[in-house]
């Protein structure tokens, strides 16, 4: 209850920042750019940023801006990923390139990418030069790492021999790095000490890994309404999730054939059969690995200490990440 209010207040303010910055001419470009941001989303990353700032009782105005920068950046990557993956649904709505065409969707993503840095500059304004540099450096390096992760994800689609280690490396880059950066930036704008910034990064990184594993699980277990996108799209796109990798390593000859036939297939029956086999072989394992990274994130968090409600909030967000059903 107390936490509900805490989260609502943050989301309201971060949304205000987002709407303040993503506004302008030409209208079509800004419409295409704000569309996904207004289509919902859990705002998990901004909540992590602001709560991480609150741990050190930082300036909320700065924290809201840093959080908005992170969320805007995240939405830029979603818009471009949806073009690359040819996804047509996101958050239960047609994707940006479906509504506006690929050229405008590329441009809307580019605009949000640049806007994220603009809002970051406002979040960091007036910090000492060293911290300003740390913030810009970490943020830009994060985007680079995310792009590298996306390239790995795409490359994996054409390979059947992806290892769990490679998968973990890929999701660290594609997903977990931004969680790490979200927590880091919250601490940075609150003048947290370097050792606490390091712990915040560890908290975010491990939580982000757990988040992505759960996301991959939900892609096989949730229904379309919960997901806001078609079920089994990972199988259809030939994605090498931890579930697929583990299932392939355990599969009998027959099972292996079914999985391979479903991966990247356009035949819905083959996709469903592959998904069922994958689930039967690796669902429990995937939950175990997610739990392991969740525990690591909790360990980093408990080493930080800091403000009470913010600590509770981060713990709650981490638990939510693991237990969520969408």
# of chain residues touching its own copies (CB under 8 A)? 46
Residues, the chain, total?
Answer: 326
Question: CA-to-CA distance for 102 and 252, rounded, in angstroms?
Answer: 42
Chain positions 275 to 314 lying near its own copies, rule: CB under 8 A, are: none
Chain positions 15 to 74 lying near its own copies, rule: CB under 8 A, are: 24-26, 28-29
Q: How distant, in Å, are the alpha carbons of 33, 98, 99 from that of 102?
A: 13, 8, 9
Tokens of 226: 């919960």
Minimum separation from the CB atom of position 265 to its own copies (A): 19
Chain positions 120 to 179 lying near its own copies, rule: CB under 8 A, are: 120-122, 124-129, 132-133, 136-137, 139-141, 143-144, 147-148, 150-152, 154-155
Cβ atoms of 205 and 145 within 8 Å: the answer is no
Pick from 9, 57, 102, 224 the residue near its own copies by CB under 8 A: 102
Cβ atoms of 130 and 213 within 8 Å: the answer is no
Task: Looking at the chain, list the stretches that DSSP marks H as alpha helix, in order from N- to C-terminal side.
Answer: 2-21, 27-38, 44-55, 60-84, 96-100, 102-124, 129-156, 164-171, 177-189, 194-221, 224-227, 233-236, 242-250, 253-262, 268-302, 308-323
Rank residues 118 and 223 by Cβ distance to its own copies and give the closer one: 118
Minimum separation from the CB atom of position 122 to its own copies (A): 8
Minimum separation from the CB atom of position 223 to its own copies (A): 28
Question: Which residues make Cβ contacts (< 8 Å) with residue 177, sequence separation at least 6?
Answer: 142, 145, 146, 149, 205, 208
Minimum separation from the CB atom of position 104 to its own copies (A): 7
Question: Which of 101-109, 235-243, 251-259, 289-297 is the region at the interface with its own copies (rule: CB under 8 A)?
Answer: 101-109
Q: Which residues, in sequence order, are bridge partners of residue 90?
A: 93
Minimum separation from the CB atom of position 74 to its own copies (A): 13
Chain positions 76 to 95 lying near its own copies, rule: CB under 8 A, are: 80, 83-84
Site map for its own copies, 206-235, x if CB under 8 A?
A: ------------------------------
Rank residues 109 and 186 by Cβ distance to its own copies and give the closer one: 109
Cβ atoms of 33 and 112 within 8 Å: the answer is yes
Site membership for its own copies, residue 103 (CB under 8 A): yes
Minimum separation from the CB atom of position 106 to its own copies (A): 6
Could you say which DSSP state residue 231 is in?
T
Question: Which residues make Cβ contacts (< 8 Å) with residue 305, sequence separation at least 6?
Answer: 55, 311
Minimum separation from the CB atom of position 180 to its own copies (A): 16
- C-alpha angle with apex 242: 241 to 244, nearest 5 degrees? 65
Pick from 104, 218, 222, 260 the residue near its own copies by CB under 8 A: 104
Residues in contact with its own copies by the rule CB under 8 A:
24-26, 28-29, 80, 83-84, 102-104, 106-107, 109-111, 113-115, 117-118, 120-122, 124-129, 132-133, 136-137, 139-141, 143-144, 147-148, 150-152, 154-155
């Amino acid at each position: 209850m107390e936490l509900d209010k805490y989260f609502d207040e943050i989301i309201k303010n971060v949304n205000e920042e987002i709407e303040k910055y993503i506004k302008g001419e030409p209208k079509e470009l800004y419409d295409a750019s704000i569309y996904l941001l207004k289509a919902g989303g859990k705002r998990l990353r901004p909540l992590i940023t602001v709560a991480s700032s609150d741990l050190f009782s930082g300036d909320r105005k700065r924290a809201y801006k840093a959080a908005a920068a992170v969320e805007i950046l995240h939405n830029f990557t979603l818009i471009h990923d949806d073009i690359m993956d040819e996804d047509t649904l996101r958050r239960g709505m047609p994707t940006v390139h479906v509504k506006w065409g690929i050229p405008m969707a590329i441009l809307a993503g580019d605009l949000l990418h640049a806007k994220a840095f603009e809002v970051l500059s406002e979040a960091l304004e007036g910090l000492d030069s060293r911290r300003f540099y740390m913030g810009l450096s970490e943020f830009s390096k994060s985007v680079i790492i995310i792009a590298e992760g996306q390239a790995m994800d795409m490359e994996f689609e054409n390979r059947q021999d992806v290892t769990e280690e490679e998968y973990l490396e890929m999701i660290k880059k594609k997903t977990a790095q931004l969680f790490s950066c979200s927590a880091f930036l919250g601490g940075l704008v609150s003048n947290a000490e370097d050792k606490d910034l390091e712990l915040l990064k560890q908290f975010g990184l491990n939580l982000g890994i757990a988040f992505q594993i759960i996301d991959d699980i939900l892609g096989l277990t949730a229904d379309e309404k919960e997901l806001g996108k078609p079920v089994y799209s990972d199988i259809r796109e030939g994605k090498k999730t931890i579930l697929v990798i583990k299932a392939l390593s355990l599969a009998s000859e027959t099972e292996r054939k079914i999985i391979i036939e479903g991966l990247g297939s356009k035949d819905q029956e083959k996709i469903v059969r592959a998904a069922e086999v994958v689930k039967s072989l690796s669902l429990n394992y995937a939950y175990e690995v997610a739990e392991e990274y969740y525990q690591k994130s909790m360990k980093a968090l408990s080493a930080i200490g800091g403000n009470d409600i913010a600590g509770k909030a981060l713990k709650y967000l981490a638990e939510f990440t693991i237990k969520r059903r969408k």
